[in-house]
Structure 1
């Protein structure tokens, strides 16, 4: 059974989508306003592959099994979803392309972090940060780390995740017009990959001062993201990349394309490209 608010669509007779409005402008997209969509009265007897755009489920494994029992097979298995979203699973594939990272099943003490990584560190959960809060992400020393761990224990997004400590790399800044406890805006871009083909890219920080890539920067950034997508090798992957002050490009993180916000990426252009690729693939 579909959950409340969910909708099953076949878009342009090429792609099955399970959608739900989340109320988040950078995530939601009204497919039936831009593409021909039909809603089946009866599902096909054979299992069908489905892309979810229904927000981030905290129970992906359970939801996958519920839908599979109804003949709806999400495009990422639970194992693939984990590889897309959790740093301990994608990091070993991209270790030479991304900042050095260590993770802990239980919150570590400051001495352990200093010994394993050194100060400062970039602190995050295995899946995500908490609303881009600087005080919970950029940690300068032991006292700040202990305060952050106390906050992590109470944070609804972070308390259940493994703790990840990353080498803090000097990123090229865009501007510093964010709030006092907001992460600095870096020269960062989000890329979407459908079956390892690029289907969309744009600035990660879509609000504030606009920024974009020169042709050479675009080549280098997308080449790095494409190599990451090739190694992680999933049907619908997001790779975020940023430029260091030295000019080097690095992978910031990976995510499941089913759960990721569009930020500065055009959703219409993204899905039109996906539909074109599906038409080529299936004939």
Structure 2
């Protein structure tokens, strides 16, 4: 039978899959694999037992496919499911490692823009001296601001891009606006990344890895109509994914202006979005058969 897939329920129809994941849930059932539902609102509200009440007891190994969770929320989900005899294939430690930049950065550092980060809490910005010291480690030039998992790239000039990282006042202004927009959704703290010129008109490639193997290549969900051609040779990423040691991850790749492929982002595959129209069946089938049967790549 393979692994169970746990999807987010529709907030207005709790017995139905959230419409965003309905096609995947339909594909899972068509392939003959079990699917269950969790209440994402209850989970984020701090009631994990209520969130998993509809998951069958004793369902065994499972993959979560749903909205992003903080590492703490994912840990609570893992514990609540374990109490029902259900084991998430991705452990809480592996989830944090793939989901948050400080967890994956050291492994991918040779292939991703240089980055530094400053832990902070929502609404409390690092002081200008701390920002200046952090930015100095990147050597000046332009940069971008984000938190451990998300940016506000759609507010590019006011809350993401810094033309010159040595301009501490401008950096502080962008960080302040970013924190204002992220509010309580802030994850971990502020990340400052060196800006690299990518061929953005050609889009990005999202590579879906299961047990260290590239199972599916798609466009990035933000630009589903764009996909670089020719596709990248993923061989340069494989040893890094193996070194990360997580069973289900995604890597977003972009072509830099000088022709080098770069890793823009790494993510836990369970909360990575498929672009509209992407063929989910090969990925879901591989996950179903891999669930509970393998080990982390490099283990």
Q: How does 1:26-175 map to 2 (within 5 A)?
A: 29-31=24-26, 32=28, 34-38=30-34, 43-44=57-58, 48-58=60-70, 59-106=73-120, 107-109=126-128, 110-117=131-138, 118-130=140-152, 132-135=154-157, 136-141=159-164, 142=167, 143-154=169-180, 155-156=182-183, 159-174=186-201
Q: 2:256 matched to 1:268? A: no
Equivalent pairs counted in the alignment come to: 252
Following superposition, the deviation at residue 33 of structure 1 comes to 5.5
Query: Closer, same or farther in 2 for the Cα pair 1:24/1:149, shift >3 Å?
Result: farther
2: CA distance between counterparts of 1:189 and 1:276? 25
Contact in 2 for aligned 1:199/1:274 (Cα 8 Å) = no
Query: What stretches of structure 2 of length at least 5 have no aligned partner?
Result: 11-17, 37-54, 121-125, 295-299
Looking at structure 1, the residues matched to 236 and 22 of structure 2 have their Cα atoms a distance apart, in angstroms, of 25
Distance 2:261 2:21 in 1: 25
Counterpart of 1:181? none
Aligned residue for 2:41? none
Q: What are the Cα deviations for residues 185-238 of structure 1, in whole angstroms up to 9, with x where unaligned?
A: x63110111111211111115647543422xx432xx12332321121211111
SS in structure 2 opposite 1:89?
helix
Instruction: Give the number of the structure whose residues are more often strand, by fraction.
Output: 1
Cα distance 1:108–1:91, how it changes in 2: closer, same or farther (>3 A)? farther
Unaligned 5+ runs, structure 1: 1-12, 175-185
Q: TM-score when scaled to structure 2? A: 0.73
Contact 1:26 1:261 in 2 (8 A): no
Q: TM-score scaled by structure 1? A: 0.77
Aligned 8 A contact 1:64 1:73 in 2: yes
After alignment, is 155-164 or 47-56 more displaced?
155-164
SS in 1 for 2:172: helix
Query: Does the 8 Å contact 1:125/1:158 carry over to 2?
Result: no
2:143/2:195 contact within 8 Å kept: yes
**Displacement of 1:36:** 2.0
8 A contact 2:204–2:226 mirrored in 1: no
SS in 2 for 1:218: coil
Query: Residue 271 of structure 1: CA displacement?
Result: 1.5
Question: Relative to structure 1, is the Cα distance of residues 115 and 38 closer, same or farther in structure 2, using a 3 angstrom cutoff?
Answer: closer
The match for 1:245 among 257, 268, 274 is 257
Report the structure, 1 or 2, having the larger helix content: 2
For residues 142-197 of structure 1, what are the alpha-carbon distances to aligned partners after superposition, in whole Å with 9 as ceiling and x for unaligned? 344222222233223653431111111111121xxxxxxxxxxx631101111112
Whole-Å Cα distance in 2 between the matches of residues 271 and 232 of structure 1? 22
CA contact (8 A) 1:243 1:250 kept: yes
Work out the CA distance in 2 between the residues paired with 1:209 and 1:258: 23
